[in-house]
Structure 1
Amino acid sequence: MRPVYPFSAIVGQEEMKLALLLVAIDPSIGGVMVFGDRGTGKSTAVRALAGLLPQMKVVQGCKYGCDPQSSNKCDECLKRLAEGQHPRAVLAPVPVVDLPLGATEDRVVGALDLERALTTGEKAFEPGLLARAHRGFLYVDEVNLLEDHLVDLLLDAAATGENVVEREGVSVRHPSRFVLVGSGNPEEGELRPQLLDRFGLAVDVRTPTAIATRIDVIKRRDAFDRDPMAFLAHWQKADAKVRRSLEKARAKLEELTVPDGILERAAALCSALGTDGLRGELTLLRTTRALAAFEGAETVTLDHLRRIAAMALRHRLRRNVLDDAGSTTRVERAVAELWDAPAGNVGAH
């Protein structure tokens, strides 16, 4: 198995790393959209994150990685249960799947063997990328250049949590829930609003300008390429510490409540920024709670909300022809105007 660069060894890009950790703690936050330059560690961070996650329980022999404890199972698992079979649960690594730009529809959703299905009546199905990514991460580099029909497939799966393939009267259904991570350079093409809205968080990454940082990146990457096993051993303790923090955060997540005052602040911020719908507030709620859990806090505070506001809202803003400020600046300005001014009896600390 090819060695994976350790998460803790990634230099800088703190916002991107935090966003990935938060969606790993609570996948209901949604995916992460990474805007920025090539060669800044985006795909490295996604693959490294999966290496931090504890193995998950899957139904033994299930090619879709169904959760033994979930009622949302594939047709094959449901059939076995109906027949009184109770397959064993086994451990498997969390999948990280790349969706290449040139992928065909059959490769994404899977393909039916029509000849076999029509002659024997057996649903011979070759699972696609949506099946492989179930309960893990689906990474799409340059997602803004993805063909429209593939974008539609991703939107359908994200909305329903399942993939249905129908060919010549034969259909196969299986669950497909994944954390979608996309990356792209806005200068090379815009992302469809419907897809952008499906990302819970959006972060910006840039090529580091500090000479010392650039040298550190180069030295670490060179050390990894020259002797991967020694490099992994050096960073093993640091990764183990992050892994324990993730496990504790997942366990603590259900215990945390978000005070009404924090929800009022979140709603007021979304209202001031003119975000559509209520997805912004929901993302703020879930992301703030995940951050508090990750840091071991006993309650969610305004500081937690302040720190994740930009990544949760910057991609949800409408364009304002009268304001040429960037979306991050607009969010930060609204935060300052709403929260740094006297707030009366609104809010929680």
Structure 2
Amino acid sequence: MTNNLNTERLIYPFTAIVGQEEMVLALILNAINPRIGGVLIQGERGTAKSTAVRALAALLPKIQVIQGCRFGCQPSKPSTWCSECHQRFIAGEKPETIEKATPFVNLPVSATEDRVVGTLDIEKAIRYGMRAFEAGVLAEANRGLLYIDEVNLLDDHVVDVLLDTAAMGVNIIEREGISFSHPARFMLVGTMNPEEGTLRPQLIDRFGLSVTVKSITDIRRRVVILQRVLDFENDPYRFLKTWENCEKTLSNRLIQAQHLLPRIKITHENLEMIADVTSQFKIEGHRADLVIQKTAIAHAVYNNRTHLEPSDIHVAAQLALPHRLKRKPFDQPFELPVLEDTVKTIIYPERAAKLQEILNDKRDPLTIQDPHNECGFYIVG
């Protein structure tokens, strides 16, 4: 048996997670297109929330960065470079490229705003005219994954700053009339147990997608979970080797999907369908429409398509709408089957019977093969 210290340093494989299909899919789609706006995962303890996030981070492909850049600027995209890389380039310095792991930053709930956004040395700026900037978490997370466990316990203002930056893709620090900015494009994931407190509705709405996870009650699947965890704890290296090909398959699929993003074609009919869904639910503002569009695109390219199908919008609406549905203070929580029925009526008016047949399929998800995935792990959509 391998000792526990080694086990703690190793990450459980993403493709070995049993069930929790919506959470898995929401994470995958955000990894393909972080501009979706992140994902909020709500659920009780022990439902693989943190395991899934850390596993996804380990799965993400390596990235090309400019050597010596503290923000990890992408060599092939000068328009996104920080001011420091631009200045070196203008001075005639040719940027050297290196490869590194996709950043994974775990933000503690005790983090202050200065720790998150970074700080400016005002004294140096005034005395020497230097913009001395001490990088914060947002700089470390650029082009990576920023994870907040127990996000509901984080200061509301800090959450607001994080969500603003995630939406803009740039971090702007202003102090005493002095400003500094740097790229901050990252995938934001927050997890929380609602029993320990909630987020303000205004903040929940800012997350692109939201999923709720529950304990698995099916006996067969619980047995599979137990067996896999035991195998991982007893011999983690052997377990990781067993799932290595599955991890590579999914990682390559993510890379392929990202390459297809610029080639996606959206029709006026697609946009009308999205607008119809959000208007039927009386969703305020237009953030939900944009999130559904971006999520549907990510779902399409994940399935190796360069055009949207109704199923892409269907899946996107299920992930983007539940936390945005308007409720009065004493209303009962919105039932997801009601959301499902309404969405399918809008998107599949002529295919309702066929869709119901699909939804009534009660086969064990562990036995359903994803046509794009030889490993057999189940992905919704």
The structure 2 residue matched to 1:314, chosen from 316, 322, 330, is: 322
CA distance in 2, matches of 1:28, 1:306: 19
1:239 pairs with 2:259: no
1:38 pairs with 2:45: yes
1:220 pairs with 2:228: yes
CA distance in 1, matches of 2:330, 2:160: 33
CA distance in 1, matches of 2:263, 2:335: 33
* TM-fit CA distance, 1:119: 6.7
Q: Please tell me whether the aligned partners of residues 69 and 85 of structure 2 are also in contact (alpha carbons under 8 angstroms).
A: yes
1:101 pairs with 2:109: yes
Q: Which moved more, 1:34-43 or 1:157-166?
A: 157-166
Q: How does 1:162-181 map to 2 (within 5 A)?
A: 162-167=170-175, 171-181=179-189
1:13 pairs with 2:20: yes
In structure 2, the partner of 1:194 is: 202
Q: How does 1:146-295 map to 2 (within 5 A)?
A: 146-167=154-175, 171-295=179-303
Q: Please tell me whether the aligned partners of residues 40 and 191 of structure 2 are also in contact (alpha carbons under 8 angstroms).
A: yes
* TM-fit CA distance, 1:342: 5.5
Matched to 1:12, the amino acid is: G
CA distance in 2, matches of 1:78, 1:296: 36
CA distance in 2, matches of 1:170, 1:253: 37
In structure 1, the partner of 2:332 is: 324
Q: Please tell me whether the aligned partners of residues 94 and 135 of structure 1 are also in contact (alpha carbons under 8 angstroms).
A: yes
CA distance in 2, matches of 1:257, 1:322: 43
CA distance in 1, matches of 2:281, 2:239: 45
CA distance in 2, matches of 1:319, 1:104: 32
CA distance in 2, matches of 1:293, 1:283: 16
Change (3 A) 1:306 1:169: closer
2:80 is paired with a residue whose SS is coil
Unmatched runs of 5 consecutive residues or more in structure 1: 344-349
* TM-fit CA distance, 1:4: 1.9
The structure 1 residue matched to 2:141, chosen from 108, 122, 133, is: 133
2:94 is paired with a residue whose SS is coil
Q: Please tell me whether the aligned partners of residues 315 and 327 of structure 1 are also in contact (alpha carbons under 8 angstroms).
A: no
* TM-fit CA distance, 1:252: 2.1
Q: Which moved more, 1:206-215 or 1:313-322?
A: 313-322
Q: Please tell me whether the aligned partners of residues 133 and 176 of structure 1 are also in contact (alpha carbons under 8 angstroms).
A: yes
* TM-fit CA distance, 1:338: 2.8
Q: Please tell me whether the aligned partners of residues 150 and 191 of structure 2 are also in contact (alpha carbons under 8 angstroms).
A: yes
CA distance in 2, matches of 1:116, 1:135: 29
Query: What is the CA deviation profile of residues 272-305 of structure 1, one whole-angstrom value per residue up to 9, with x for unaligned ones?
Result: 1011122222222221221121112353211222
Unmatched runs of 5 consecutive residues or more in structure 2: 1-5, 352-381
Matched to 1:257, the amino acid is: K
CA distance in 1, matches of 2:36, 2:245: 28
The structure 2 residue matched to 1:49, chosen from 30, 36, 56, is: 56
Say how many residue pairs are matched. 343
CA distance in 1, matches of 2:296, 2:177: 46
* TM-fit CA distance, 1:112: 4.5
* TM-fit CA distance, 1:226: 2.9
Q: Which moved more, 1:167-176 or 1:267-276?
A: 167-176
Q: Please tell me whether the aligned partners of residues 325 and 334 of structure 2 are also in contact (alpha carbons under 8 angstroms).
A: no
1:26 pairs with 2:33: yes
Matched to 1:250, the amino acid is: Q
1:174 is paired with a residue whose SS is strand
CA distance in 1, matches of 2:246, 2:272: 37
TM-score normalised to structure 2 length: 0.82
CA distance in 2, matches of 1:277, 1:156: 16
Matched to 2:57, the amino acid is: A
Identical positions, percent: 47
1:67 is paired with a residue whose SS is coil
Q: Which moved more, 1:85-94 or 1:120-129?
A: 120-129
CA distance in 1, matches of 2:15, 2:262: 26
In structure 2, the partner of 1:347 is: none
CA distance in 2, matches of 1:184, 1:324: 21
CA distance in 1, matches of 2:350, 2:241: 51
In structure 2, the partner of 1:300 is: 308
Q: How does 1:334-345 map to 2 (within 5 A)?
A: 334-341=342-349
Query: What is the CA deviation profile of residues 214-252 of structure 1, one whole-angstrom value per residue up to 9, with x for unaligned ones?
Result: 232232223223322211111001111111211221222
What root-mean-square deviation, in Å, do the aligned CA atoms of Structure 1 and Structure 2 show?
2.5
The structure 1 residue matched to 2:73, chosen from 66, 74, 97, is: 66
Q: Which moved more, 1:43-52 or 1:108-117?
A: 108-117
* TM-fit CA distance, 1:206: 0.8
* TM-fit CA distance, 1:115: 6.6
Q: Please tell me whether the aligned partners of residues 257 and 299 of structure 1 are also in contact (alpha carbons under 8 angstroms).
A: yes
TM-score normalised to structure 1 length: 0.89
